[in-house]
Structure 1
Amino acid sequence: MSRRNKRSLPLRAIFAWPAAIFLVGIVGLVSALTGDGWRDGLSWLALAAPVAALAWAMRARRY
């Protein structure tokens, strides 16, 4: 077995992107539930962001 060079990352670096995606999703859900008009547009954008991140990750992993 080969030995891998393990570099430990701080928790802030590990969870930064998942936390940002979570916060954008929460903003989208709250804006969808609390109003109409421009909040509908905000909710569409905010709720599409996690889907776009997932699509990007799947595509990046494939190559």
Structure 2
Amino acid sequence: MSWKQSTFALPLAIGVLSLLGLFCALLGDGMWDWVAWLGLGIPSVLGCWPLIFRPRQ
């Protein structure tokens, strides 16, 4: 089974990215803050994307 055909590939990637963001937010300041913002911001944008940009009827 390839990466593209896996049902759980995208949710797993989002979960790992969120976990990385939370972990980095707890670690420290400076560069860790940037990684935390990206790690928590990207899953948030992906989750809200269908609500904001849904097709017009």
Relative to the length of structure 2, the TM-score reads: 0.77
For residues 28 and 57 of structure 1, do their structure 2 counterparts lie closer, same or farther at Cα, with a shift above 3 Å needed?
A: same
Distance (whole Å) between structure 1 residues aligned to residue 17 and residue 49 of structure 2: 16
1:7-22 equivalences under 5 Å are 13-22=6-15
Q: Distance in 1 between matches of 2:40 and 2:47?
A: 12
- Equivalent position to 1:45, from 7, 20, 38: 38
Is the helix fraction higher in 1 or 2? 1
Radius of gyration: which is bigger? 1
How many residues in Structure 1 have an aligned counterpart in Structure 2?
51
- Offset at residue 58 of structure 1 (A): 2.8
Q: Which moved more, 1:15-24 or 1:50-59?
A: 50-59
When the two chains are superposed, the root-mean-square deviation of aligned CA atoms in Å is: 1.5
Shift in Å, 1:57: 2.9
Distance 1:18 1:58 in 2: 17
Structure 1 stretches of at least 4 aligned residues deviating more than 6 Å after TM superposition: none
